[in-house]
Amino acid sequence: MADIAPPAYRTFPIIPELKPGAMEGKGPFVAPDKINEALGFPGHLVDDWHDKAIAKMGDLLSRYRSLKVYMDACVHCGACSDKCHYFIGTQDPKNMPVARQDLMRSVYRRYFTLPGKLFPKLVGACDLTREVLDEWFNYYHQCSECRRCSVFCPYGIDTAEVTMAAREILDSVGYGQKYSNEIIGKVHKIGNNLGLPGPALEDTLSGLEEDVKDATGVDVRFPIDVKGAEVLLITPSADFFAEPHIDSLIGYAKVFHATGTSWTLSSMSSEAGNFGLFIGNYDQLRTIAMRIRQAALELGVKRIVVGECGHAWRVAYSFWNTLTGVGDGADPNDRFAQMLQKQLDHRYKQPAHICEFTWDMIQDERLVFDKSKNDKYVITFHDSCNVARGSNMGGYPGGQFDIPRNIIRAVANNFVEMDSSTTFERTFCCGGGGGLLTDDLMDVRVKGALPRMEMLQQVKDENGVNFMACICAICKAQFTKVLPIYGFDRKVIGGVHQLVSNAIQLGNK
């Protein structure tokens, strides 16, 4: 890891030259048998992988309209070609979204379209060979499914959908990625991505109660498995022990405390993250999300609130209602969803983001802040990709941008924006999303962080920014590691609720 040098900043954000093959063979570790088998996938590459992979592709094409349309619709216009942070950082042309998609599209053409069957060369179709399969594994694990390309595509083609399909095909033939599959196994077995068992969790939480008591003199509780609590908080497990994540967890607890909200965590369902999304597998996505449904039903809560995590919020906001009925508007005959939806309090959006919760409380004037507590910071906000392009907050388009910023402005005095070509819907991924947050992909991660680092450097130089707030566990972990490589202090990254925690006045109201 020490030998990884960051790429040089571009003096002007120009489009980089192509360096074919620059990232060949830079893919992640392959999952060993035990890890794959635990998820019901073949342990290692099966003998008839070719036929199985094509059959799986046909199956996905019949079940996902997105994949079907996206395979046909691309005209190679190139609008996406300079939009991917991994392309910008690595200059490998196969990291251009269109070229990455074409790794699959060329196989699609060969096996599923007439011109590709008759004139493969003419339309750029190719057989699924072992080399092609290896390229899939390599380049589909250099995509963080951040959807930035889909913003600019005239047909809305979303590379994330193609990447997910590719990873699902790879899993189905026993060619899975170690990191994602290992983590999913931990969720099934223990209940969270970090494999933190219930007793350890309780220990950590009581330790936190002591810490907060020491720091503030106030008894802020971190309750777990409390039946009949109003709010069930589902948060990424990194919040329980990783820095700077834990400071945001303290922030949530203080908000609940200050507003007198009864809340609880769940030891059985102690993970907001859902890596089923990353491997594109509906069954896994659903099975992982079902733990939340189960916890909500068992604890009898009225509201479900989700902590600071980007992809988890996308899954929660966009998919939980579909997968598990956490939401509203189920058909009266839909017994499965009604069971839970009757229990939830529909005066509130279900599920709600912790930022929605806090912002509502700020608007109701139920929280008091001493903004000067954050005066040591000049703050900027990094929009996390899944929040920006895969969800909303507040029930209106763009609420996902406004609400976290509103909170920051309510708790701190110094806020500046980064360059508008890299914020809001145009935000760049941190470089570690989509199942890439693993040391075996450090090279890709560092290079993928380049566009964000450039803009952070700019506001650091011009405005003295020394704190980049975000609302994503993966962003926090990625930047903590990558910032020092680019010459920043690792403490520059932190959560929005970390700022809330600094400024909140307990016991005044």
Partner 1 sequence: MNTLFAIFIYISTLVFVVGLLQRIRNYAGTPAPLKIPTTPAPVTNGGVVLRMTREVAFFESLFKGNLWTWAAGWLFHYSMLLVVFRHLRYFTEPVWGWVDFIQPFGIYAGITMLAGLLGLLARRIFVDRIRYISTPSDILMLILLIGIAASGLLMKFVGHPDVIMVKNFFIGLMHLHVESLPDNFVLYLHLTMVFTLLFIFPMSKLLHAPGLFFSPSRNQADNPREKRHIAPWAAKMESEK
CA–CA gap between residue 101 and residue 83 (Å, rounded)? 14
Contact 133, 175 (CB under 8 A): yes
CA–CA gap between residue 239 and residue 225 (Å, rounded)? 17
Choose between 386 and 498: whose C-beta lies nearer to partner 1. 386
Least distance between partner 1 and beta carbon 19 (Å): 11
What tokens appear for 451 in the block? Answer: 């566009």
Q: Could you write out the DSSP letters of every residue in 421-465?
A: GGSGGGPPP-S-TTT--SGGGHHHHHHHTHHHHHHHHHHHHHH--
Choose between 213 and 396: whose C-beta lies nearer to partner 1. 396
Choose between 207 and 398: whose C-beta lies nearer to partner 1. 398
For residue 388, which of 358, 433, 341 has the smallest C-alpha distance?
A: 433
- List Cβ neighbours of 54 (8 Å cut-off, separation of 6 or more): 107, 111, 128
Least distance between partner 1 and beta carbon 305 (Å): 13
Q: Is 467 left (phi over 0), alpha (psi -120 to 50) or beta?
A: beta
Least distance between partner 1 and beta carbon 492 (Å): 27
Contact 503, 366 (CB under 8 A): no
Choose between 149 and 196: whose C-beta lies nearer to partner 1. 149
Contact 184, 279 (CB under 8 A): yes
Choose between 74 and 485: whose C-beta lies nearer to partner 1. 74
Choose between 346 and 376: whose C-beta lies nearer to partner 1. 346
Least distance between partner 1 and beta carbon 480 (Å): 27
> How many residues are listed for the chain in this entry?
509
Least distance between partner 1 and beta carbon 447 (Å): 18
For residue 436, which of 26, 56, 4 has the smallest C-alpha distance?
A: 26
Choose between 346 and 509: whose C-beta lies nearer to partner 1. 346
**Tokens 């570690």 — which residue?**
432
CA–CA gap between residue 226 and residue 262 (Å, rounded)? 9
15 three-class SS: coil
Least distance between partner 1 and beta carbon 337 (Å): 5
What tokens appear for 481 in the block? Answer: 């590691």
Choose between 33 and 328: whose C-beta lies nearer to partner 1. 328
CA–CA gap between residue 370 and residue 499 (Å, rounded)? 11
Least distance between partner 1 and beta carbon 122 (Å): 5
Choose between 45 and 126: whose C-beta lies nearer to partner 1. 126
Least distance between partner 1 and beta carbon 260 (Å): 25
Query: What is the b/e burial string over 413-445, where b = at least 16 CB atoms within 10 angstroms of the residue's CB?
Result: ebbeebeeebbbbbbbbbbbbbbbbbebbbbbb
Least distance between partner 1 and beta carbon 32 (Å): 29
Choose between 63 and 213: whose C-beta lies nearer to partner 1. 63
CA–CA gap between residue 173 and residue 477 (Å, rounded)? 31
What tokens appear for 132 in the block? Answer: 């092609």
Least distance between partner 1 and beta carbon 37 (Å): 22
Choose between 162 and 233: whose C-beta lies nearer to partner 1. 162
Choose between 47 and 345: whose C-beta lies nearer to partner 1. 345
Least distance between partner 1 and beta carbon 391 (Å): 6
Least distance between partner 1 and beta carbon 399 (Å): 8
Least distance between partner 1 and beta carbon 319 (Å): 6
Q: Could you write out the DSSP letters of every residue in 280-347?
A: T-HHHHHHHHHHHHHHHHHHT-SEEEE-S-HHHHHIIIIIHHHHH--SS---TT-HHHHHHHTTS-TT
- List Cβ neighbours of 252 (8 Å cut-off, separation of 6 or more): 233, 235, 307, 354, 497
**Element containing residue 152 per DSSP (H, E):** helix 148-152
Choose between 162 and 246: whose C-beta lies nearer to partner 1. 162
Radius of gyration of the chain from its Cα atoms, rounded to whole angstroms: 23
